[in-house]
Amino acid sequence: MHNEILKDIGEKELIRRITKFMPTNQASDDCAFIESKGENLLINTDLMIENTHFNDEIISPKDIGWKAVTTNYSDLISSGCTEFIGINIGLVLSPKTEWRWVQKLYEGFSEALNNFGGSILGGDCSRGETKMISITALGLQNKLKLRRNACKPGEVLLTTGIHGLSKLGLLIKSNQITIKDSNISKKLIDQSINAFCRPTPRHKTLKKILQSSENFIKREIGCTDSSDGFYQAIFDLSQESKCKAIIDYKKIPKNELWPKGEKWDKFYFFGGEDYELLISLPRDWANELIRMDNEITEIGYFTKGSPKVEIKNYPNKRNLDNDSYSHF
């Protein structure tokens, strides 16, 4: 097939083919890991593209700047980064872009960097037809490694928080859901818009994980963030760790105002742009962590078996269709 196009092969197959060009040890995590003499580095690149991830109607340039840094840092955190070095920025703008837009974007970058650490290291700026922000973030690997492929059968699966809010925020901001239609509360609307525009990566939770790790020998644990969605995150852990994930629908923490129904379950499971951590830990460690942080919830476990995600106690007869986002 000499003329097959990306739309035909799909995102998953594209990534599989591209990954073949990489050394095998680098392929499974969001972050690349660089072994250095003194300190070990984590490096991560994330793209934000106009009309794919943002447009002027749904999010302000300052929020885009905040989000570009924090979502990147979320990937670093999910690999075990506690100290951020900073970011390199690749910025594509059209000559018609207002300076004010660029200024607000950089104010957003700066606000996030002031909050979490690191600085603007450098970058490149170029003319293009659509706006594009490519951020490469660098951080230091803590002694405890967090990796997608380190979940073990018998371990407990934990989440650091609730999902679905960011998707709802996007749908509200893009007028795909109106408040009247859905009978959702003002409080939930505000929380959702905030989750979409101003995500907070889980650096504080990581510090608690590191603190709790002092009582245990293990130096590598299973973890990822839920930037591609709650379900996808658990699926990725399961696939990279070569074991089955079983989650209990009844244990999944939800916002108290979150409506019931399959539509809302889909937002929760497949919405994406959540920046919680999904963590796999041995029972005793999991218990200790839950004691230390009441936002952390046990939602299931890993077991031997082919990589997949099984949902127990789902209220509908048929299971949820996988509705994950694909770029192509």
Phi-psi region of 305 (alpha: psi -120 to 50; beta: other; left: phi over 0): left
Closest CB 124 distance from a second copy, rounded Å: 5
3-state secondary structure of 117: coil
* CA 159/CA 157 separation, integer angstroms: 7
CB-CB neighbours of 189 under 10 Å: 17
Nearer to a second copy, 11 or 284 (CB): 11
Nearer to a second copy, 86 or 282 (CB): 86
Nearer to a second copy, 19 or 176 (CB): 19
Closest CB 51 distance from a second copy, rounded Å: 7
Cβ-contact 290, 158 below 8 angstroms: yes
Closest CB 305 distance from a second copy, rounded Å: 29
Q: How far is CA 275 from CA 71, 85, 108, 171, 278, in A?
A: 7, 20, 18, 18, 10
Nearer to a second copy, 51 or 294 (CB): 51
Nearer to a second copy, 53 or 298 (CB): 53
Nearer to a second copy, 66 or 109 (CB): 109
Nearer to a second copy, 89 or 172 (CB): 89
291-318 burial by CB neighbour count: b if 16+ within 10 A, else e?
A: eebeebbbbbbbeeeeeebebeebeeee
Closest CB 91 distance from a second copy, rounded Å: 8
Closest of 262, 233, 254 to residue 324, by C-alpha: 233
Question: Which tokens go with 272?
Answer: 């994406």
Report strand pairing: 145-147 vs 220-225: parallel
Closest CB 166 distance from a second copy, rounded Å: 17
* CA 68/CA 42 separation, integer angstroms: 17
Closest CB 69 distance from a second copy, rounded Å: 12
CB-CB neighbours of 319 under 10 Å: 10
Closest CB 215 distance from a second copy, rounded Å: 27
